[in-house]
Amino acid sequence: MSTEASALASKEFEPPVEPISKVGVIGGGTMGSGIAEVCARVGLDTVVVEVDDDAVEAARKTIENSLKKAVSRNKLPAATRDLAMSCVSFSTDMGDLADCDLAIEAVIESLEEKLSVFRAMDKVLAPNAILATNTSSIPVITLGSVTSRSDMVLGMHFFNPAPVQPLVELVRSLNTTSDTMERVDRFAVEVLGKRVIRCRDRAGFVVNRLLIPYLLDAIRMFDEGKVSAADIDSGMMYGCGHPMGPLTLCDLIGLDTVEAVADVLYEEFKGSHNAPPPLLRRMVAAGHLGRKTGRGFYEYD
């Protein structure tokens, strides 16, 4: 048999990639609600799990407002908005994830919180379900190690705002199988319409390993008192073509999240460029976290 014929025969007998038709999202904050919206927009049965009724209501309103804004800006047909809201449901019971094919953890960037979620997901989901984390820095292998299926655990890192940003980083731990990566890659590209890049399980992955030192340098420059926040941002927007400046981006991400990712990067690589500047520490301690608190490097209504 020729090489070409052998390849065709092999392809013919490849088992089909199991489809992902129901998705669970644990955490309905900025990232979790955005990920849920992305899934619901394409007609996937999507369940958002939050800690209590107040958090559930906040997640529901976040998704409703996001869809409403997209329609008002002619970025989304009203029919797609209606489809999305009909596909997404909310719960405070982790057991409602039992029949999901994929569960995506999107809670705060805390190792303890994420480990707790992974233990809970592993208990309630079917053995063939994939567990993913939206972490921007915590090692995927650490989260997978507390489950009975570390071969089916991977990083699935979306970017804010998830309904708008096209990129998803897929992160493979030392135990993640090729089948798991392929299944989620195809899902992200073919179903969600995202652009995927793959990377190894190293702190910061690709984007944040490059981005965070840049943001920290902008904070240090501002702290020197010789340049205003607006001028730093304008310099990168109009001099380098960035869509927004680094300090505006810090406020959008959340200064607490920037600090948490920087801490993980510094712990892993020990480079001084990854160390959170004193001003960042003080702002987080003061509760000046950016847009979500109304005050960061700028003030917000």
pLDDT at residue number 137: 80
pLDDT at residue number 1: 53
3-state helix, strand, coil in the chain (%, to 5): 55, 15, 35
Per-10-residue mean pLDDT for the chain, 301 residues long?
53 64 96 97 97 97 97 96 97 97 95 96 97 92 98 96 96 98 97 97 94 98 97 98 97 94 93 97 98 97 89
CATH class belonging to 22-200: alpha beta
DSSP 152: G
pLDDT at residue number 273: 95
CA 186 to chain CA centroid, Å, is 17
Q: Break the chain into its structural domains and give their ranges.
A: 22-200, 208-291
Q: How far apart are CA 76 and CA 80, in angstroms?
A: 7
Q: Can you read off the two tokens belonging to residue 28?
A: 């309905």
Q: Is 89 helix (H, G, I), strand (E, B) or coil?
A: strand
Neighbours of 178 (CB within 10 A): 9
- What is the Rg, in whole angstroms, of the alpha carbon atoms belonging to the chain? 20
Model pTM score: 0.86
Residue 256's identity, in one-letter code, is D
What is the set of active-site residues? 136, 157, 169, 208
CATH class belonging to 208-291: mainly alpha
